[in-house]
């Protein structure tokens, strides 16, 4: 028996609209599904054998993901899609298996199918939050491969976005972090980035859903929790309401600017870069004539495309000094790559394995 339909309240309407828009834009609609790449190459893509594309909701049982699951279960069939769920049990607290099973049961009551429950082992590398995130995404990717799902939907909200931007600002980690989370990252969709956490909580209350409250969300040992419980409320109190929305708008604007610059850098690199057996080169004059934002992107792009190495800002600026502050210095060694100035060119070559990076 399908779940009883709740009355349509503003919160339910807002969340459903956000999910409907994301599915239509990034999976397909009206029986015309986009043939999204699927590892298994079957039901997720809307193939002749499995004509209905599948999306999975990453479900923890908390208010954000539970509202997302309910809205997706409602909207997906109306766009000729199937909706399932993947519940990841991190095993980090007592009773986690029962909590995961309760979330899976809730998904089934909402009409989602298939519903997968995966237990993961969380390591220690990078700290507890990073380790849990790595284990979780590995499980999500495995579930997507197993089911052939076209997309996996994540329950990050506008509040999560604001917290991410504030954390990036505090760490001084540059425009990449200040862009926050993208609404689309490969096979992952975040339909609720424009929705406040208070709205997902109202959605659950209006729908008669009982979300699980993760005690880790109240543990101020975690930096993100301190930002949520202390920093953002102070900013709202001292600067007035709307701080979270302003931070989210800033992230969106930075992302647009960054994507435009990245696209322009790719076009310029195609014209300037010269490939050789030893590596790749860029003309000094062209690099010097471009503004720093584009010059630094060209340097990072050359290294990433040729050597599959992602340069930090510190290493990028060291290389850029060969263009902007050159007084006859020798090569600059960065991870895996040696860069030197010669005959009007910036030459990038692979460093021999075992060489140390001089700083």
- Evaluate if residue 179 carries a pLDDT over 60: yes
Question: In degrees rounded to 5, what are phi and psi of residue 279?
Answer: 160, -130
Is the CB of residue 89 less than 8 Å from the CB of residue 214?
no
Retrieve residue 264's tokens. Answer: 């322009």
pLDDT band at 40 (very low <50, low <70, confident <90, very high): very low
Query: What CATH code would you report for 273-350?
Result: 3.30.465.60
pLDDT at 136: 93
pLDDT at 44: 46
219-241 pLDDT, tens digit each: 777 788 899 988 999 998 999 89
What count of Cα atoms within 13 Å lies in the side-chain half-sphere of residue 37?
4
Is the CB of residue 263 less than 8 Å from the CB of residue 255?
no
- Evaluate if residue 183 carries a pLDDT over 80: yes
User: First vs last Cα of the chain: how many Å apart?
Assistant: 66
> pTM for the full model?
0.79
State mean pLDDT over 112-140.
86
Q: Does domain 10-250 have CATH number 3.20.20.210?
A: no
103-116 pLDDT, tens digit each: 999 999 999 999 99
Q: How far is CA 40 from CA 49, 325, 347, in A?
A: 13, 51, 41
- Evaluate if residue 39 carries a pLDDT over 60: no
pLDDT band at 315 (very low <50, low <70, confident <90, very high): very high
Report the distance separating Cα 163 and Cα 247, nearest Å: 9
- Evaluate if residue 355 carries a pLDDT over 70: no
Q: Which of 17-31, 97-111, 295-309, 324-338 has the lowest mean pLDDT?
A: 17-31
Most confident stretch, 52-61, 115-124, 344-353: 52-61
State mean pLDDT over 62-69.
97
pLDDT at 77: 96
pLDDT band at 286 (very low <50, low <70, confident <90, very high): very high
- Evaluate if residue 51 carries a pLDDT over 70: no
Closest CA to 307 of 334, 267, 283: 334
Report the distance separating Cα 146 and Cα 39, nearest Å: 8
154's CB contacts (< 8 A; 6+ apart) are 58, 65, 68, 188, 189, 190
Q: Map out the domains of the chain as residue ranges.
A: 10-250, 273-350
How confident is the prediction for the chain on average, in pLDDT?
Answer: 87
- Evaluate if residue 207 carries a pLDDT over 60: yes
Share of residues in the chain with pLDDT > 90 (%): 66
Closest CA to 269 of 278, 260, 282: 282
pLDDT band at 47 (very low <50, low <70, confident <90, very high): very low
43's CB contacts (< 8 A; 6+ apart) are 49, 50, 52, 53, 54, 82, 147, 148, 149
340's CB contacts (< 8 A; 6+ apart) are 322, 330, 331, 332, 346, 347, 349
pLDDT at 7: 85
186-200 pLDDT, tens digit each: 999 999 999 999 999
Most confident stretch, 113-117, 272-276, 311-315: 113-117
- Evaluate if residue 270 carries a pLDDT over 80: yes
- Evaluate if residue 129 carries a pLDDT over 80: no
Q: Which of 275-279, 281-285, 311-315, 348-352 has the lowest mean pLDDT?
A: 275-279
Residue with tokens 């989210």: 248
């Amino acid at each position: 028996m399908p779940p009883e339909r709740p009355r349509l309240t503003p919160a339910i309407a807002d969340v459903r609209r956000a999910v409907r828009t994301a599915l239509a834009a990034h999976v397909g609609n009206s029986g015309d599904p986009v043939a999204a790449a699927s590892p298994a190459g079957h039901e997720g893509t809307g193939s002749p054998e499995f004509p209905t594309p599948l999306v999975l909701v990453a479900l923890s049982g908390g208010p954000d993901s539970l509202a997302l699951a309910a809205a997706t279960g409602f909207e997906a069939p109306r766009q000729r899609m199937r909706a399932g769920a993947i519940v990841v049990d991190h095993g980090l607290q007592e009773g986690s298996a029962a909590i995961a099973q309760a979330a899976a049961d809730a998904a089934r009551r909402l009409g989602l199918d298939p519903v997968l429950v995966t237990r993961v082992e969380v390591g220690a590398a990078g700290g507890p939050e990073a380790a849990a995130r790595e284990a979780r995404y590995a499980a999500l990717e495995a579930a997507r491969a197993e089911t052939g799902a076209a997309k996996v939907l994540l329950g990050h909200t506008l509040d999560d976005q604001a917290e991410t931007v504030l954390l990036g600002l505090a760490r001084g980690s540059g425009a990449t972090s200040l862009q926050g989370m993208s609404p689309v990252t490969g096979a992952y969709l975040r339909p609720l980035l424009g929705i406040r956490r208070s709205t997902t909580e109202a959605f659950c209350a209006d729908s008669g859903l009982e979300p699980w409250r993760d005690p880790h969300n109240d543990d101020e040992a975690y930096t993100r929790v301190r930002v949520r419980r202390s920093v953002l409320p102070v900013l709202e109190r001292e600067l007035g309401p709307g701080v979270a929305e302003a931070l989210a708008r800033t992230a969106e604007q930075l992302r647009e600017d960054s994507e435009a610059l990245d696209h322009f850098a790719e076009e310029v690199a195609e014209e300037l870069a010269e490939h050789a057996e030893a590596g790749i080169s860029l003309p000094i004059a062209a690099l010097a004539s471009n503004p720093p934002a584009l010059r630094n992107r060209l340097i990072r792009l050359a290294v990433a495309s040729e050597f599959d190495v992602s340069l930090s800002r510190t290493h990028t600026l060291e290389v850029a000094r060969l263009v902007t502050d050159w007084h006859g210095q020798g090569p600059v060694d960065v991870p895996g790559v040696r860069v030197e100035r010669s005959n009007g060119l910036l030459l990038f070559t692979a460093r021999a394995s075992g060489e140390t990076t001089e700083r």
